[in-house]
């Protein structure tokens, strides 16, 4: 085993401590259950990206191992965990206001424990803010300290003193924490953590540390187990999956990993996110083309269509390179679904720069875009730039972007009318209880009239109507 990869794993003696604290907490909860005559319950709330959702499943898994039943409402809980995000101001505001709302629950239940973790509280100024302004928060830990959750919870429960776990200097990979998966047919599998790219607008490298990858054999056994349990959609997660294992020096890369995973037996599709365009290699595209088990969907965040802006963002590719990657991808995989992320109103973005982004949308014709208004993040280079775009211009550009993309998305969906698509059913739609919803291999949402036992199954749906953001059809 390479030195690098061994060093990036939380040492066994530290994990042993984690399991000891977990067991102590479990025994304590067993006593409480006997004396209270009811189960101890935990509620986990998640803000942010899929990576955070995957972490929350680990937090829920650890809570379960400590004797908590996972519940779906904070009012029912003896332990509330808030897993926060820092990517935009809106995400932080939402987390803070939600934490604020939990104050009254503490008034009703003096034994209620509230823990806050995740990207927001990995920033010093936010930790201080929680310490000073949210005195009912019992403990905090950042993204490098997930494995310290049982220790913090136990110590706080026994000793009563608030705990603010210091960030580890070194960010590591913890294997073997419990996992309580939300779904029985869609699963997240983190393959790496952190980011080395330092795009100039982005907080992630500061709150998630440097890239470190899990060992291929650990990922293979997790995916094998998921396939055995009948999981249908397995999404591999990392901030830049294309640089998987580059930190390890083991001689394999992301394309090798997915080629290996695609050999695992079972009726499932592999998805992955996110890819950085500078690292989207031909080898990777060929691997996707050659393996049926790999979903024909590529999420390739472009961020901007202007070379000047891309340079200022420190993205390390230009329009021409991006277009070449897309050209090769469509040549090899003609039916690929292509989606992207766009930031509007990056500091210094001129009308011309913005027009260049619109032009790229017209040329590439993404199936879908995820667009964001630039939000200055404390500590990042872009936040200190003098030429910030005004809120008015940002929101005006944002509307124009959406308007254009809506027309493009519709034109991409319309040819599907009359065709039959394979859909993984998610059960009754949250917005319309008359219909069922599901997603295609390319992550397009489809509504149809389904039946009670359809959830978690692949169905063939004949499309009879297309909108920009959804398809409608019937089971055949
Ligand atoms: N690692 C992924 C994305 C992580 S964040 C990648 O590089 O693609 C998800 C998206 O949020 C980014 O792609 C970007 O479009 C957006 N984003 C990140 N920082 C932002 C900021 N400060 N303001 C607005 N959007 C931002
Ligand atoms: Fe942020 Fe860039 Fe890293 Fe993505 S690649 S997480 S946008 S720094
Ligand atoms: Fe947010 Fe952290 Fe993800 S900042 S987007 S939860 S990596």
> For residue 154, what is the domain's CATH number?
3.40.50.12160
- The answer to whether residue 252 is domain-embedded is no
Q: Which of 414, 346, 410 is nearest to 376 (CA)?
A: 346
Structural domains of the chain, count: 2
pLDDT in tens, 256-280: 999 999 999 999 999 999 999 999 9
Is the residue at 113 inside a domain?
yes
Q: What is the pTM of this model?
A: 0.96
User: For the segment 91-146, what is each residue's pLDDT rounded down to a tens digit?
Assistant: 999 999 999 999 999 988 889 999 999 999 999 999 999 999 999 999 999 999 99
Q: Which residues contact 60 (CB under 8 A, 6 or more apart)?
A: 42, 44, 70, 179, 180
Ligand 1 center to residue 126 CA distance, Å?
20
Query: pLDDT tens for residues 364-412?
Result: 999 999 999 999 999 999 999 999 999 999 999 999 999 999 999 999 9
120, 155, 107, 190: which is closest to 379 by C-alpha?
120
Distance 375 CA to ligand 1 centre (A): 10
In a domain, 179, yes or no: no
Residue 1 is predicted with a pLDDT of 44
> Which of 112, 147, 164 is at the close of a domain?
164
In CATH, what number is assigned to the domain containing residue 440?
A: 2.40.50.140
Q: Could you tell me the CA-to-CA distances from 422 to 162, 438, 458, 463, 473 in Å, in that order?
A: 51, 9, 6, 10, 11
Q: Please state, in angstroms and as integers, the Cα–Cα distance from residue 368 to each residue in 112, 407, 449, following that order.
A: 42, 11, 24
Distance between Cα 47 and ligand 3 center (Å) = 8
192, 201, 204, 246: which to mutate for ligand 2, most atoms within 8 A of CB? 204
Q: Which ligand is nearest to the CA of 239?
A: 1
- In this prediction, residue 2 has a pLDDT band, given cuts at 50, 70 and 90, of very low
| Confidence at residue 171, expressed as pLDDT on a 0 to 100 scale | 80
270 lines ligand 3 (CB under 6 A): no
Identify the burial level of 327 via C-beta atoms within 10 angstroms of its C-beta, where 0-12 means exposed, 13-18 middle and 19 or more buried. exposed
Pick the last residue of a domain from 140, 164, 188. Answer: 164
> What gap in Å lies between CA 102 and CA 121, rounded to an integer?
17
Ligand 2 center to 305 CA (angstroms): 17
Q: Which ligand is nearest to the CA of 200?
A: 2
In a domain, 359, yes or no: no
Give the closest ligand to the alpha carbon of residue 372. 1
Residue 204 has pLDDT above 60, yes or no: yes
pLDDT tier for residue 35 given thresholds of 50, 70 and 90: very high
* Mutational test site, ligand 2, from 206, 240, 280, max ligand atoms within 8 Å of CB: 240
CB of 60 shorter than 6 A to ligand 2: no
Does ligand 2 have an atom closer than 6 angstroms to the CB of 199?
yes
For ligand 1, the distance from its centroid to the CA atom of residue 467, given in whole angstroms, is 26
Provide, rounded to the nearest whole percent, the portion of the chain with pLDDT above 70: 98
* Residue 4 pLDDT grade (very low, low, confident, very high; cuts 50, 70, 90): low
Check pocket membership of 49 for ligand 3, CB cut-off 6 A. yes
- Distance, in Å, from the CA atom of 46 to the CA atom of 53, rounded to the nearest integer, reads 6
Closest-lying ligand to the alpha carbon of 84? 3
pLDDT category of residue 466 using cuts at 50, 70 and 90: very high
Return the C-alpha torsion angle 59, 64, 69, 72, nearest 10: 20
- Among residues 81, 207, 103, the alpha carbon closest in space to that of 153 is found at 81
Indicate if the pLDDT at residue 167 is higher than 80: no
Task: State how far the Cα of 165 lies from the Cα of 145, in Å rounded to an integer.
Answer: 8
Q: Average pLDDT, whole number, for the chain? A: 95
In a domain, 364, yes or no: no
154 C-alpha to center of ligand 1: Å? 35
Q: Among 55, 56, 87, 144, which residue has the most ligand 3 atoms within 8 Å of its CB, making it the best to mutate?
A: 87
Q: How many CB atoms lie within 10 A of CB 402?
A: 16
Could you tell me if 435 and 449 are in contact, meaning their C-beta atoms sit under 8 angstroms apart? yes
Query: CA–CA distance from 306 to each of 240, 357, 376, 384, 449 (Å)?
Result: 22, 6, 19, 21, 44
Question: Within a domain: residue 68?
Answer: yes
Instruction: Say if 14 falls within a structural domain.
Output: yes
Last residue of a domain, one of 131, 164, 197: 164
Tokens 């680990």 locate to: 58
Q: CA-CA distance, 323 to 301, in Å (whole number)?
A: 12
pLDDT at 6 over 60: no
Is residue 85 in contact with ligand 3, taking CB distance under 6 Å?
yes
- What is the predicted pLDDT for the residue at 170? 77
Domain, as residue range, for 40: 3-164
For residue 209 and ligand 3, the question of a CB distance below 6 A is answered with no
Residue-level pLDDT at 7 = 62
Structure confidence by residue, pLDDT tens digits, 330-367? 999 999 999 999 999 999 999 999 999 999 999 999 99
Length of the chain, in residues: 476
In tens, the pLDDT along 172-195 reads: 889 989 999 999 999 999 999 999
Domain membership of residue 295 (yes or no) is no
The pLDDT of residue 9 is 86
Segment 207-255, tens digit of pLDDT? 999 999 999 999 999 999 999 999 999 999 999 999 999 878 888 999 9
- Of 121, 61, 128, 88, residue with least CA distance to 373: 88
Determine whether 470 is exposed, middle or buried from the number of CB atoms within 10 Å of its CB (0-12, 13-18, 19+): middle
**Residue 5: per-residue pLDDT:** 56
């Amino acid at each position: 085993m390479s030195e690098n990869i061994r060093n990036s794993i939380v040492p066994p003696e530290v994990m042993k401590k984690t399991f000891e604290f977990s067991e102590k907490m479990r025994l304590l909860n067993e006593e409480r259950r006997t004396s209270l005559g009811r189960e101890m319950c935990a509620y986990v709330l998640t803000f942010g990206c899929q990576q955070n959702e995957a972490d929350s499943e680990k937090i829920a898994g650890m809570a379960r191992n400590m004797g908590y039943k996972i519940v779906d409402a904070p009012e029912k809980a003896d332990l509330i965990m808030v897993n926060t995000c820092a990517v935009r101001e809106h995400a932080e505001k939402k987390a803070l206001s939600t934490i604020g709302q939990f104050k009254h629950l503490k008034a009703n239940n003096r034994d209620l424990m509230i823990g806050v973790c995740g990207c927001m509280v990995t920033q010093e100024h936010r930790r201080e803010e929680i310490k000073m302004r949210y005195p009912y928060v019992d403990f905090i830990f950042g993204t490098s300290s997930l494995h310290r959750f049982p220790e913090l919870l136990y110590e706080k429960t026994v000793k009563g003193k608030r705990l603010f776990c210091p960030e580890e200097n070194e960010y590591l990979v913890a294997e073997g924490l419990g996992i309580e998966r939300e779904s029985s047919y869609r699963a997240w599998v983190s393959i790496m953590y952190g980011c080395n790219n330092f795009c100039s607008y982005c907080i992630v490298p500061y709150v998630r540390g440097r890239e470190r990858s899990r060992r291929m054999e650990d990922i293979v056994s997790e995916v094998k187990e998921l396939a055995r349990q009948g999981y249908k959609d397995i999404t591999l997660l990392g901030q830049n999956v294309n640089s998987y294992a580059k930190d390890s020096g083991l001689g394999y890369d992301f394309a090798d990993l997915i080629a290996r995973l695609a050999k695992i037996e079972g009726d499932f599709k592999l998805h992955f996110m996110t890819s950085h365009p500078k690292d989207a290699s031909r080898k990777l595209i060929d691997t996707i083309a050659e393996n049926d088990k790999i979903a024909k969907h590529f999420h390739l965040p472009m961020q901007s269509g202007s070379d000047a802006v891309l340079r200022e963002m420190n993205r390390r590719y230009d329009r021409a390179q991006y277009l070449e990657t897309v050209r090769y991808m469509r040549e090899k995989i003609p039916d690929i679904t292509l989606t992207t992320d766009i930031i509007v109103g990056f500091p210094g973005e001129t009308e011309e720069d913005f027009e260049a982004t619109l032009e790229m949308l017209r040329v590439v014709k993404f199936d879908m875009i995820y667009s964001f208004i630039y939000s200055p993040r404390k500590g990042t280079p872009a936040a200190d730039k003098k030429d910030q775009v005004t809120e008015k211009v940002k929101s005006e550009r944002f509307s124009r972007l959406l308007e254009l993309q809506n027309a493009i998305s519709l034109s991409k969906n319309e040819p599907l009318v009359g065709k039959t698509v394979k859909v993984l059913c998610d059960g009754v739609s949250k917005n319309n209880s008359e219909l069922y919803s599901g997603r295609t291999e390319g992550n397009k949402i489809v509504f149809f009239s389904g039946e009670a036992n359809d959830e978690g199954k692949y169905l063939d749906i004949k499309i009879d109507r297309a909108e920009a953001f959804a398809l409608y059809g019937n089971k055949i």
